[in-house]
Structure 1
Amino acid sequence: MIAVASGGCAVDSEEPAPEEETGDVASPLARMGDGTDDPVLHRCLTDATGSLTATPSTISLGGSSTLAWSVKIPSGCTAARAYLDSQLVGTTGSTLVRPQASSLRRLRIYIAGYGERVLSSVNIAVQLPPRVDITSNDQAPLFVQAVQTPNTTVVIANGVQLDLSNRQDISIGSNVIIRGGRGGREPGPRLFTTTRPPVFFKIGRYASNVRITGVRIEGPDMGAVDRNGARGIMIDSATNVEIDHDEISGWALAGIHVWDTQNTAASPSPSETVLPAHTVNIHDNFIHHNQAVGGDGYGVAVGYGAHPMIARNVFDWNRHAIEGDGKAGTGYTAYYNLVLENGGLHRWIPFPGFWVHTHQFDMHGLNDCGVASIFSDALANCGPAGHTMLIRHNTFFYREDEAIKLRGTPAVGMFVGQNVFANHLTFGSATSQEESGLVQEPGNVFGYNGKLQLGTCDFDGDGVNDSFMATGQSWWYRSGGAGPWEFLNASTKKLSEISLGFFDGDNRCDVRADGTVYPGGKPAPRFGVGFGKLDTFTVLRD
């Protein structure tokens, strides 16, 4: 039997009542057991009354509130039990609670095998400080409230793994920073889901000045799966957004999806040197294993007139690294990205058993190509294809198909210059277009793979040698030779043209090129990122 106290605090239950997921006021019968309409039990549920109060109802983070309740159960209802949330309680009592986030508490009556009803509910509002620290795996409710609260910095300790399964559209408030400690061989905190939300994190048009840095955002699907619409980060018409130094993986539709449905941003013309202040900046991330069969599977997807800056990212095992939807105004600026050799899986041919591969950077057309579409694996290969795409200083090790494909005619053009391709220009087709508008600018290098020659030196000062790579457009290092590649510097100098060593006495490897020493392989002073101009990086101190 279940022991029920007539007063005092909650007592343990052998038959815990299921949690009620909806309803914040006294509610009708929540559900029936076997569907039998027992008039006595029905009266027990419908005639029971109760009250629940919280004193105080608003507390600071870490504070406490006293919950007090009173329940009146009709006579003869010996099977009825009172529950505070999922805890069996007496008909009257109180308890001290310290909620880690704002929460709705419910008092309910429950009859095993028959049903339950919420008698009363009260909300305890937890007011957060400007900085919230997430230090344990059980703080998902606090994390969600914190990121939704404007003007909050959320710092997540390394090693924390927050299970955010069964959540979607986690909205990020204005002036919110989410910060972890990812870098080198430190993977950073993990924010993950085992379910497939259409949108995991959402930065909407009412949000501005948002930054997500130094964390892992992990979806459920690392392999090439059927299309299921899951996206890691959705940015729509938000301003001053920065996604940097993150690892984003496991999203079948897109790791990051950028839209501008409210026309808050404008595409730059090729002659413009300054981007709008509200441009979305996606930089220094490791974006990988975002795949789906026959479509989707994008590292970064751009649409509805958006034009983000996409720079210094490492892409691997994506169906497409960057995709554009072809709509009016859509475009992107892609600088100094590193596209590794894997991915591009498009369609499996069971016999004789092989994958058809696809390209890495593209812009869709809005139309099919008539009769020609019969012989194509995709329909969006003709017609209008976005506005302006600036693709410069990138390195493509990918060789399974084209590195870049223009699938229609853009309003201005797709400008491809000073990139390094492992593919040759004619054999393997580094770039291609279905109609017109792809402009081959000077400085592209074809048939070169800087990954074939690596240097070794300790760039991060941990006493372990790191791998060093000079691609012909940029320098990269890999902590301990095993971590993800990280951007060091923009330079056309190859390994044979530089020397590695400890030249400035700080126990971090430096690069010497043409008589100039780059401490830690970076320009001095060491810089974070500044995307004020299309063709230069503003030097900023860490």
Structure 2
Amino acid sequence: MEFTGIPTVVVIDRNTCHPERVLMRAFDSDNHNKEQTVELSCGVNIDLTGKSINITRDYSSLIASPGCERGPRHRNEDVPRIFVKDAQPRPNALFSIHSDYVFFNGFRLEGPTSGIGQGDYKEKGIVVSPAACSPDEGTEDIYQCAIHNIEFSNMEIYHWSGAGIDVDDNVTIQDRGRFFNTYFVDAQNDNHIVGAAHIKNNYFHENQHDHGEGYGVHVSAGAYALIEQNVFEANRHAIAGGSRNCDGKGLDYSGYTARENLILPGGGLHCNPATCTGVLFSLGLIAGAYCYTFDLECYHTHQIDMHGDKNTGPNLGCGKDSCHPEDHWYSFNCHNWLCGTAGETIIIERNTILYIGGSTWADNARGLWGFLRGAVTAIPGQPGPSYSTSTGYAINIRGSPADKAVVDGNVFAHKDRVLAIHQGGTCDGKTNSIQLSNNQFGQNPGTTLGTGDFVGDGQQDKFMATGVTWWAMSPVTGQWRYLNTMPERLSELILRDADGDGVCDVVPKTRRPHWIPVYSKSGTSPWVPLLINPP
């Protein structure tokens, strides 16, 4: 049935009857508007339990209304929310993106699993899976079917036991697929870069599963994504990569650029699913899960990875899925994906990774800096279970990349490179080592924080300078947000309202305290000259 009369901009507010129906109808394939935008007003809550939405039309946007979007002074309950309550093995993500020019911005996306997911319950919030595309007959232009612009920005994405966002490619017609890791100019002379799938300025937290998935962002099946300026907290893995195209051809184009992200200390746990039973608790640590089984084996893994496409064990032919059995890719009960080819191009640069693993399950609970080694223990008044312990890596490239893996200019809480960065085995003889440069180890910028009003309303934000980026934490939301990419640390800076506009600026320390040659306006601009006398 073709829908008629749907406006190109649909606004859903708290007075909208059956908002879930309005939302689904706007993005239905029978709506033939050339462009479709849905705005979510302040305080809107849409329950999509038992439903899923396929977006098949180009130029589709789902956004918070202006003034309602996630921000440093907007209370969580005022930011629009889409949520589901049915934790179950589901075949589809809540949102499946099959088109181009898609824009999600400003709202909260809440999954059904506030603790640690188990078994086959691996729900996903958003899956990008482009439709197949056939280039013009006879053309050799591999970019003709390229995806141009899919963006997820300024969102809070949480409680998805599978993945918050999963980006896959479509290689049914072209082996290279529709996502690329290179710069190119298309037939319309439009410039494109690796950010065709762009994931920016989001807060991913508590996306967890006891023995698989539990990702903030997952990129696989030949896709490529730009992941930048996000905050990750208490996910099993913040960023994960799946290796080869799942078709038995042995081609591998998966990868990502992870740039200027902040990964907080929590998360990283992998547990024995046969004995783990989760019980919700919230004693000062918000929602988490605790396993009371005393013989449970949990260990810390890592926060950023790229899977290899082979196992370290013998070829048992135990694949039980759509992939070619010899690949051992996503096989059941016999996989570890610790060697072979690990993606194509992986760029990890200017990130701050404060995760170091830990020694107890409670290290996985949410908090600010209580995740650090030994700082959080069991529920007060009750004995804690005994666990296997392991200090997790920050980065684990689980094999040999087809092109390269670059780890450059990052800041690590781990005290040295060996503890922070690991590369998997080479079971098939391939060797392509990680390219390492300009990384800093043994850093803990959270121990020294500044304060300043970076909004201009009189409330004080916390300020963190990590050595590569600056961040501010809102006193309203308790969430960190990206300010700037700068190498200066707090000891080299002064926080003050340099230009008299009521908003805190960042000033470099000089030998003459009252002389301000340059400043960073609101902490977000590059160094610029101060054109007025300081107040």
Q: Please, what TM-score do these two structures have when normalized by structure 1?
A: 0.69
The match for 1:380 is 337
CA distance in 2, matches of 1:480, 1:522: 19
The match for 1:414 is 405
Tell me how many residue pairs correspond in the alignment. 396
Task: Compare 123-132 and 302-311 and name the one that shifted more.
Answer: 123-132
The match for 2:415 is 424
The match for 2:139 is none
Alignment of 1:82-481 (within 5 A): 125-136=3-14, 138-148=18-28, 149=31, 150-171=34-55, 173-180=57-64, 181-186=69-74, 187=76, 188-196=79-87, 197=90, 198-204=92-98, 207-226=99-118, 227-237=120-130, 239-262=148-171, 263-268=177-182, 276=193, 279-327=196-244, 328-348=252-272, 350-351=293-294, 355-370=298-313, 379-400=336-357, 401-425=392-416, 428-435=419-426, 436-480=431-475
CA distance in 1, matches of 2:494, 2:315: 52
1:343-364 deviations in Å (ceiling 9; x for gaps)? 1121158445563111111111
Q: Offset at 1:433?
A: 3.5
Q: Offset at 1:172?
A: 5.7
CA distance in 2, matches of 1:301, 1:363: 9
Q: Offset at 1:331?
A: 0.4
- Contact 1:164–1:191 (8 Å) recurs in 2: yes
Task: Compare 363-372 and 445-454 and name the one that shifted more.
Answer: 363-372
- Secondary structure at 1:127's aligned position in 2? coil
The match for 1:89 is none
CA distance in 2, matches of 1:382, 1:332: 19
- Contact 1:192–1:218 (8 Å) recurs in 2: yes
CA distance in 2, matches of 1:128, 1:481: 37
Q: Offset at 1:171?
A: 2.4
Q: Indicate the percent of aligned positions where both proteins have the same amino acid.
A: 35
- Contact 2:520–2:527 (8 Å) recurs in 1: no
AA aligned to 1:128 is I
- Secondary structure at 1:145's aligned position in 2? helix
Determine which structure has the larger strand proportion and give its number.
1
* 1:502–1:341 Cα change, 3 Å: same
1:429-486 deviations in Å (ceiling 9; x for gaps)? 4444434434243210000011111101110112110111001110000111752110
- Contact 2:24–2:53 (8 Å) recurs in 1: no
- Secondary structure at 1:446's aligned position in 2? coil
CA distance in 2, matches of 1:215, 1:432: 37
- Secondary structure at 1:182's aligned position in 2? coil
Task: Compare 419-428 and 250-259 and name the one that shifted more.
Answer: 419-428
- Contact 1:460–1:479 (8 Å) recurs in 2: no
AA aligned to 1:183 is G
The match for 2:512 is none
CA distance in 1, matches of 2:394, 2:195: 29
Q: Offset at 1:275?
A: 5.4
Task: Compare 398-407 and 477-486 and name the one that shifted more.
Answer: 477-486
Q: Offset at 1:185?
A: 3.5
CA distance in 2, matches of 1:275, 1:335: 18
CA distance in 2, matches of 1:241, 1:321: 20
CA distance in 2, matches of 1:463, 1:377: 57
Task: Compare 455-464 and 124-133 and name the one that shifted more.
Answer: 124-133
AA aligned to 2:525 is P
- Contact 2:38–2:62 (8 Å) recurs in 1: yes
CA distance in 1, matches of 2:170, 2:2: 36
* 1:391–1:355 Cα change, 3 Å: same
Q: Offset at 1:280?
A: 0.4
- Secondary structure at 1:140's aligned position in 2? helix
* 1:451–1:385 Cα change, 3 Å: same
CA distance in 1, matches of 2:82, 2:56: 14
The match for 1:31 is none
CA distance in 1, matches of 2:525, 2:265: 28
Larger RCO: 1 or 2 (CA < 8 Å, sep 6+): 2
CA distance in 2, matches of 1:455, 1:372: 55
CA distance in 1, matches of 2:194, 2:355: 33
Q: Offset at 1:284?
A: 0.3
1:201-220 deviations in Å (ceiling 9; x for gaps)? 1111xx11111000101100
Task: Compare 166-175 and 392-401 and name the one that shifted more.
Answer: 166-175
AA aligned to 1:508 is V
Q: Offset at 1:368?
A: 0.5
- Contact 1:211–1:242 (8 Å) recurs in 2: yes
Alignment root-mean-square deviation, CA: 2.5
* 1:417–1:433 Cα change, 3 Å: farther
* 1:296–1:413 Cα change, 3 Å: same
CA distance in 1, matches of 2:124, 2:86: 11
Unaligned residue ranges in structure 1 (runs of 5+): 1-122, 527-542
The match for 1:73 is none
- Contact 2:45–2:80 (8 Å) recurs in 1: yes
1:337-385 deviations in Å (ceiling 9; x for gaps)? 0000001121158445563111111111111112699xx9961101111
CA distance in 2, matches of 1:431, 1:489: 29
- Secondary structure at 2:26's aligned position in 1? helix
The match for 1:489 is 484
Q: Offset at 1:178?
A: 1.4
- Contact 1:425–1:431 (8 Å) recurs in 2: no
- Contact 1:178–1:211 (8 Å) recurs in 2: yes
* 1:425–1:275 Cα change, 3 Å: farther
CA distance in 2, matches of 1:511, 1:343: 32
Unaligned residue ranges in structure 2 (runs of 5+): 131-146, 172-176, 184-190, 245-251, 276-292, 317-332, 358-391, 510-516, 529-535
* 1:307–1:124 Cα change, 3 Å: closer
CA distance in 1, matches of 2:488, 2:168: 37
Alignment of 1:69-84 (within 5 A): none
* 1:354–1:379 Cα change, 3 Å: closer
1:216-259 deviations in Å (ceiling 9; x for gaps)? 01100021121413110010135410100000111111100001
AA aligned to 1:140 is E
Task: Compare 212-221 and 169-178 and name the one that shifted more.
Answer: 169-178
CA distance in 2, matches of 1:339, 1:229: 22
